[in-house]
Structure 1
């Protein structure tokens, strides 16, 4: 959960608190770090054979992604907000499972696969939504999001290193700090913050993801404990929510209050998941 500390540090430096101006080179470095971070996140995604457990994955995906997305569309009438309701955070899913000693279980296999499916659905929608005037401009404006899919394709060819390596250290100690520090540094959280928008987004996102994931997992045959844990894990939006919200806000797809609400949603749901997941 180190990304939360870097984001908070950035918020303290930026217009939200101290209003210290960032160096001119820092914004470009932060954006580049975000693109490489997404590339590595895509590479890290792993899929097992879905076919033997296809009924479970189909129903659980409907509950964890389709139900929140449809509800988001009905409430906000905004396609990006619909997708934002369905996002899960694969990096947090993996970290939570490791911290709780659940990484070598069937729950881990299901959680990682479902978080990957939710993220892919949301990022595919974001690629389609981001505006551009020509093919060249489209590639230039989408390169950060496209990096995710390049990483995803690479993961089918070269296996993600499971042991400590330069890539893992770089992701943790260079890329994530650069991007999330830069993101927090440019946000005027309190100027953008609107209590009604935040409460609407937070309650809707948490309720639909939790209830949808739990009910549909139970319907698919999972027991109470695994369904509870799936709901808690998939509800953690974390870095992926914040990344998507940042791109959507820069592209004019969402308002300032909704952007602020999604950033807080990403932070709070990541923190909430830790005590809710049961061994």
Structure 2
């Protein structure tokens, strides 16, 4: 299997997991666990998992002042701000609003890649992002219902989350060219855990966990292992072989994958209109991935 296929496969799996997370997380919040409590459970669990694995198996350390500072910034933007703003925003606003606003991530990635990494921004990449963004927005707009309402503060938190995650994808790229993915993810989750615990510790202690139904426990486990551990590991690994713009462009697949999941569960109906919007999203991702040196060996 070629490296290009592996990278696209990893990014597709990440988009699939994220696409299902909007609805799953809303089942848990706020009736069972508060948004910040859920973050602490996820981040601390992932920090322990990656920390133990990195220490026992990888046995690699981040060296140098510059790399250590960059890894701390990755923990702040990729874990702390990202997670706190996303779950607090999702707790307030509708999932459809969150999905719509998250499509600004590739725009943030493109902007900061050009500024910080001096990544070449060609017409094909800009066109691909524009096409995919159009498809995503049309799909989400067509999926609205009269009962779906948003929240201004919640929407603003989602925008801040998207901006923070976009910056993270850019600044973590140089680290991935030098270190193992487990080494990087272990450090950023350790930093993130220290920062999120003060926000959510009280919410961790509040719930009566013995009263949780099996479905809620499964949802929590899914958010720990799939949404947290697998997605960050695969995203970070993919950045070793792909530019941040391609990783960011996969955000546009989340709405259409969310629709497929809903159809499979019988809560939505697939239509020709949605199929056309999905084609726009896939076409946009294709245009971004076709840029020179987009996927290959680390630079």
Same fold (TM over 0.5): no
Q: Which range, TM-score by smaller chain?
A: 0.3 to 0.5
TM-score by length of 2: 0.31
Does 1 or 2 have the higher relative contact order (CA < 8 Å, sep 6+)? 2
